[in-house]
Amino acid sequence: MSPSLILFAVPAFFALIGVELWLCRRRGRRDYRFSDALANLSCGVGQQIVVSIVSAGVLVYVVLFERAALVRLPPGAVSSWAACFVAVDFCYYWAHRASHRVNFMWAAHAVHHQSEDYNLSVALRQSWLQRALFWPFFWPLAVLGFPPAMLVTTYTLNILYQFWIHTQLVRRLGPLEWVLNTPSHHRVHHGVDTEYLDRNHGGVLIVWDRLFGTFCAEGAPPRYGVVQPLASFSALRANVAPWRRLARMAAAEPRLSGKLLVWFRPPEWRSNATPRDEGPLRTDPDYALHDVARPRGVRALAGALFVTALLGAIAFLYASPGMAAGPLWAGAAVLLAVLAAVGALLDGPGGAGAAARRALLARQTG
């Protein structure tokens, strides 16, 4: 996503989040919690910072287009844009589906699903590494002749479309439900209920799910989150914890082949050597949403630090195209450190580890 499009979209994102929050309060709904929403937004800001300094996926696409394209589609033709829209959405479906079925891809994508609420702020809860893992699914489009600028623009619009479907305020949309990915379909995708797991992977279109057997219509209201809750409001922990868990699973395997295969197994796979999961599961009937009571002053400080990081990130995105490598990486590190501090304030003393230990103790004694 180019900096210009990011900076154009940010005010709209926050305005729509404000409207949704206002409507929720008017209707007596509790779709938002301060710490969860701030964690979501921190993940999103961090993702844009990382994407701005890591562009290998785009560079590979450009090289493939320049050296291996079978044809070069005219960028001014409406038919080229229409074909690119369908092709990007098709590739997005398979990248998204793979990210739910392959452990190392899920370790990145899980960040987007960790929120136990469902509102527009969840749309901005993005992994700092997922974009790099998605790019190989789009590289074949370079060989087919889609110009890089067209691909990036179409992909960006695909992602921007998905912002508004992260809401519980919009119910069903009649005949559009047959073709488009809608809030109803995407609520299913975020559900941890057995019937909803690994369903509705489409970006703009839901037709791929209908064609390839992954579609599920919304029935009972979903429970949101991941099966193994993060138990933290830290954006840094959100991005690191799934990888640490996979590393522990790999280390526990006695054979080298097992250690390697762990990274490619589906997320639900377990072996006899797999370490015991800590804490309750989101699917437990008596599970209570993770929350940490923090003093009002601490919450205000966390909010102020986040605003500082947000404004710094906007300035950083403006300046990053012309920055040398040293200042670029240093600036990114400082901003990510501020976001980590926001999470530390929201988690409180002991952080996620203490929360997991308390939950495990309660489960064993309850």
The DSSP-derived string for 149-169 is HHHHHHHHHHHHHTTTTS-SS
The pLDDT value recorded for residue 282 is 92
Please report which confidence band the pLDDT of residue 351 belongs to, taking 50, 70 and 90 as the band edges. Answer: low
- What pLDDT is attached to residue 323? 86
Dihedral angle sign, alpha carbons of residues 148, 149, 151, 155: positive
Cα gap 172→20, rounded to integer Å: 17
Q: What angle do CA 12, 43, 356 make, to 5 degrees?
A: 140
Does pLDDT of 276 surpass 90? no
The pLDDT value given to residue 320: 86
pLDDT confidence bin for 362, thresholds 50/70/90: very low
In the predicted model, is pLDDT for residue 280 greater than 90? no
**pLDDT of res. 361:** 43
Token pair 């990210």: residue: 99
Residue 138 CB-density burial (10 A; 0-12 exposed, 13-18 middle, 19+ buried) = buried
Confidence of residue 325 (pLDDT cuts 50, 70, 90): confident
Token reading at 115: 């929120």
The pLDDT tens digits of the residues spanning 99-136 come to 999 999 999 999 999 999 999 999 999 999 999 999 99
- pLDDT at residue 352 in the model: 53
pLDDT per residue as tens digits for the range 11-28: 999 999 999 999 999 999
pLDDT-above-70 percentage for the chain: 94
Q: Once rounded to an integer, what is the mean pLDDT over residues 201-217?
A: 98
- Tell me if 99 sits within 8 A of 108, measured CB to CB: yes
What is the tens place of the pLDDT at every residue in 57-97? Answer: 899 999 999 999 999 999 999 999 999 999 999 999 999 99
Higher-confidence residue: 359 or 217? 217
Rg (CA), the chain: 21
Handedness of CA 263, 269, 271, 273 (dihedral sign): positive
Between 48-57, 99-108, 259-268, the lowest mean confidence (pLDDT) is in: 48-57
How far is CA 4 from its chain centroid?
21
Mean pLDDT of the chain: 93
Taking the CA atoms of residue 330, residue 336, residue 341 and residue 347 in that order, the dihedral angle to the nearest 10 degrees is: -160
Query: pLDDT by residue (tens digit) across 141-162?
Result: 999 999 999 999 999 999 999 9
